[in-house]
A and B are shown apart, each in its own frame.
Chain A
Amino acid sequence: MAERVLEIRGLEVTFRRGEERIRAVAGVDLTLAAGEALALIGESGSGKSVTLRQVLRLDPERTTEVAGSVRVGGEEVGRLDRRGLRRLRGGRVGMVFQEPLLALDPVYTVGQQIVEAIRAHEPVSRAEARARALELFRLVHVPSPDRRLDAYPHELSGGLRQRAMIALALACRPQLLLADEPTTALDATVQIQVLLLLRELQERLGLAILFVTHDIGAAVEIADRIAVIYAGRIVEEGPVRAVIRSPLHPYTRGLLASRTEGALVKGRRIAAIPGSPPDLARPPPGCAFAPRCSLAVEACRRSVPRLEPFAPGHAVRCLRAPEWAASAA
């Protein structure tokens, strides 16, 4: 097996808000090898972004309780001091945000921001850093890169802005790229270009990508593996093809059924999953999906099922999955 770039074991994240304690992540395990792309799929509030942000320990430490382990290249992120954390952020790990217009500073040109990011990590001159920035802009296929470096974020189109953001994230040649819904804020036609770009970069640079999205279509485009997260736990994980073709968890099946593609036949309704996600301040004792699940039995409501391997590389957290899969086959 290739080198493990990212290893998350038993990650639990709890936010304190006044008296309430919100358990956003309730035990997530993830491994990412070098050059591998993993898509973490879930709806709003499922804990997908929190998991991602915890790789760089971005959440305010005063109000966040973290348990479990996050290792980047074998190094425990939770134990890093301030300097180690700064080296990690933007150094070994780059991050792409959802809305590039908000994530780029409006008063500096995109070139200045990339130069600043490079010089924060490496002792290079401004001219060298600018040459690197130009190289990065070519890498992410920005047309007329030398002029675009001098543009302010608001002067670029959405797609170019996201390319600039990716260039910024890659400024210090990270091994791991974290992408927090990088295509959600873009037009449909631009989305696919950005996804193809990420895929190309992953192959060309041997980059590992952890990609958070609620868009299954985008996940299929870019990922080698998919992990579906629900109420702070991974409910299903496996190779893209296996998860899409033979989903095992009822939640995954519900997600796939609720896609709009192919469902736009006149008069046909888009299938929706009934009910709403559980309150994370008061999670149910058993399977978090049980209250919305048509297959749930008494045992589902008693204890949280384990994530069990089902096929090679394909695991599911559902008591009924083996039974159900056998009857469907």
Chain B
Amino acid sequence: MAAPAVPAAAEPAAALVRSPSFWRSVFARLRRDPVALAAAAVILALLVLALFGPWLVPVDPYASSVLRRLKPIGTPGHPLGTDELGRDMLARLVHGARWSLFMGVTPVVLAFFLGAAIGITAGYAGGLLGTAIMRTIDVFYAFPSVLLAIALSGALGAGIENALLSLTLVFVPPIARVAESVATQLRNRDFVEAARASGAGALTIVRVHVLGNALGPIFVYATSLVSVSMILASGLSFLGLGVRPPEPEWGLMLNTLRTAIYVQPWVAALPGAMIFATSISFNLLADALRSAMDVKG
């Protein structure tokens, strides 16, 4: 029998642009977003400060001077003034970027991997196993995050490692929960069924289809946690549970300068301003990333 002629589907030639990769199109959208650009610029500047700060501001942040205590902003030789021990504020803020970013980003990165693994396992497995995992996670979820962080690092003892560990544990439950809900939705999607119908095993489906679709949303959520982590880390340092003096961590600086708030309010507010600027930049970038990645066609 003669095969009937099948007309090729007609398509306008304009649609023939080679499609950019997903991430490239996300970046293209981010570049058109002024808020995202500003936030990214702030974060980039902080990264530069954290990496190259000691070379950019070659002043010893630990050198104290009883004579030069609590100088105001604009003092010759100390553009941002000095703290209660006469240490240069500019040097301390710049050196502090390293500590604060480290304390903000590390727990989130660790919790991202741990939480995503737990949540995706629970969500894709579903049933009894999924319920068991998620109810256990919910126990942690029941505590306010500040309280949990303080309780954990208090129990583990003061110190940077323990502060990082407790912050990681604080962030695993929310990330796991987001991962679980994303994975549960994905499990019932047609393309997962289609993958099964074309012979993919459970491991392939999780690796290719679930991870491929879930990591984006989880990553965006985790980005928004960086600011929380920074604030909590600063809080722990403020309480003496995280970074210890004389290290120039912003939360700790805020704590020690607290007594000088009536003498030099502007100088005392500087570490807080840094924390604020950093956390809001991370939040804005996370928001922009979320909308740039939302390309449900």
Q: Across the interface, name the chain B residue whose C-beta is closest to A89.
A: B199
A154 engages B193 (CB within 8 Å): no
Contact with B1, one of A91, A151, A203 (Cβ below 8 angstroms):
A203
Bound together, the chains give a CA A106 to CA B295 distance in angstroms of: 9
Chain A residue numbers with a CB within 8 Å of B1 are 203
B97 → A minimal CB distance (Å) = 35
**Complex Cα gap A190–B9 (Å):** 8
Residues on B with beta carbons closer than 8 Å to the beta carbon of A154: 295-297
Interface string of A136-166 (1 = CB under 8 A from B): 0000011110010011111101011001000
Docked-complex contact B198 and A120, CB < 8 angstroms: yes
Evaluate contact between B6 and A155: CB separation under 8 angstroms.
no
Interface of B is mostly: loop
Q: Could you mark each residue 87-108 of chain A with 1 if its beta carbon is under 8 Å from any beta carbon of chain B, else 0?
A: 1111100110101011111111
Is the beta-carbon distance between B198 and A107 smaller than 8 angstroms? no
Minimum distance in angstroms from A100 CB to a CB of chain B: 9
CB-CB contacts of B196-234 with A at 8 A, as 1s and 0s? Answer: 111111001000110011001000000000000000000
User: Which among B15-23, B74-82, B264-272 touches the partner chain?
Assistant: B15-23
The stretch among A191-199, A236-244, A255-263, A282-290 that forms the contact with chain B is A191-199
Question: Could you say which residues of chain B place their CB within 8 Å of the CB of A58?
Answer: 193, 196-197
User: Is B198 within 8 A of A90, CB to CB?
Assistant: yes
Say yes or no: A103 contacts B198, CB within 8 Å: no
User: Does B195 sit within 8 A of A, measured CB to CB?
Assistant: yes
Interface string of A66-105 (1 = CB under 8 A from B): 0000000000000000100011111100110101011111
| Cα separation A203 to B3 with both chains bound (whole Å) | 7
Q: Please report the total number of B residues contacting A with Cβ < 8 Å.
A: 35
Chain B residues within 8 Å of A200, by CB = 3-4, 6
Given A95-B194, A107-B22, A150-B18, the answer on whether A88 and B295 have CB atoms closer than 8 Å is: no
Complexed CA–CA distance, A147 and B204 (Å): 26
Q: Known contacts being A58-B193, A152-B22, is A95 close to B4, with CB within 8 Å?
A: no
Report if B66 contacts A (CB, 8 A). no
Assess whether A5 is interfacial by the CB under 8 Å rule.
Answer: no
Question: How far in angstroms is the closest Cβ of chain A from B174?
Answer: 23
A56 beta carbon closer than 8 Å to chain B = yes
Q: State in angstroms the CA–CA spacing of A159 and B11 once bound together.
A: 10
Contact of B196 among A89, A105, A157, A169 (CB under 8 A): A89
A134 CA to B296 CA, complexed, in Å = 26
Counting CB contacts under 8 A, is A308 at the interface? Answer: no
Contact B297 A147 (CB under 8 A): no
A88 touches B199 (CB 8 A): yes
Contact: B197 with A89, CB < 8 Å? yes
Chain A positions within 8 Å of B295 at CB level: 154
Q: Is A121 an interface residue (CB 8 A)?
A: yes
How far is the CB of A212 from the nearest CB of chain B, in Å? 14
Given contacts A106-B297, A143-B11, A154-B295, contact A199 B199 (CB under 8 A): no
Q: Give the contacting residue for A160; candidates B11, B22, B190, B213; CB below 8 A.
A: B11
B contact residues around A87 at 8 Å (CB) = 199
Contacts of A141 in B (CB 8 A): 6-9
Partner of B201, one of A86, A155, A163: A86
Q: A-contacting residues of B (Cβ < 8 Å)?
A: 1, 3-4, 6-11, 15-16, 18-19, 22, 189-191, 193-201, 204, 208-209, 212-213, 216, 295-297
**Residues in chain A within 8 A of chain B (CB atoms):** 56, 58, 82, 86-91, 94-95, 97, 99, 101-109, 116-117, 120-121, 141-144, 147, 150-155, 157, 159-160, 163, 168-169, 171-172, 190, 193, 196-197, 199-200, 203-204
23 A-B pairs with C-beta separation under 8 A: A58-B196, A86-B200, A86-B201, A89-B198, A89-B199, A90-B199, A91-B199, A103-B193, A104-B191, A105-B195, A107-B22, A107-B213, A107-B216, A116-B208, A117-B198, A141-B9, A142-B9, A144-B16, A153-B297, A154-B295, A157-B11, A160-B11, A190-B9
